[in-house]
Amino acid sequence: MEAGARKRLMAVTLDENSIGRGSADQEHERAIAVYDLIEENSFSLVGHDGGPYALNISLMDAKLVFDIRDENGAGVVTHILSLTPFKRILKDYFLVCDAYYSAIRTATPSRIEAIDMGRRGLHNEGAQLLAERLKGKIDCDQDTARRLFTLITALHWKG
């Protein structure tokens, strides 16, 4: 198998026992985030020459759990990340998202664009923080880190 075909995620699942079912809007956002992530990603484990990988994401005691398995379902590694470093970014991101959705109804196009630029900036900041937290464990490109951060926001979105 070609290296590029191995260094990727082939499946992403969310543990419903720890995350729970969301509203229809939340479930839709999660499904889109998972679809986008599987469609295009660059994901490999540092020091492991396997892949493609299946990723199961769960929450445990305010921590994000990445359970990574090989294409046959055998466990490869589990990485646990504290969500504490993401709290400020997530809080700010959701505030800006609320402002954005409110602005769509009444604000001028330039105001909507300014809010959206702030939203994208926070999203990029969250993706960069995630990539830093994964450094030495998981190699992924910026687009994959952005998609993973989108999924993290979908897990926390109150709607």
- What is the number of domains present in the chain? 1
Domain containing residue 130: 3-156
Kindly report, residue by residue over 57-88, the tens digit of the pLDDT: 988 888 999 999 999 999 999 999 999 999 99
At residue 111, the pLDDT reads 95
The reply to whether the predicted model has a pTM over 0.85 is: yes
The answer to whether 25 touches 17, Cβ cutoff 8 Å, is: no
Kindly report, residue by residue over 106-135, the tens digit of the pLDDT: 999 999 999 999 999 999 999 999 999 999
The answer to whether 6 touches 50, Cβ cutoff 8 Å, is: yes
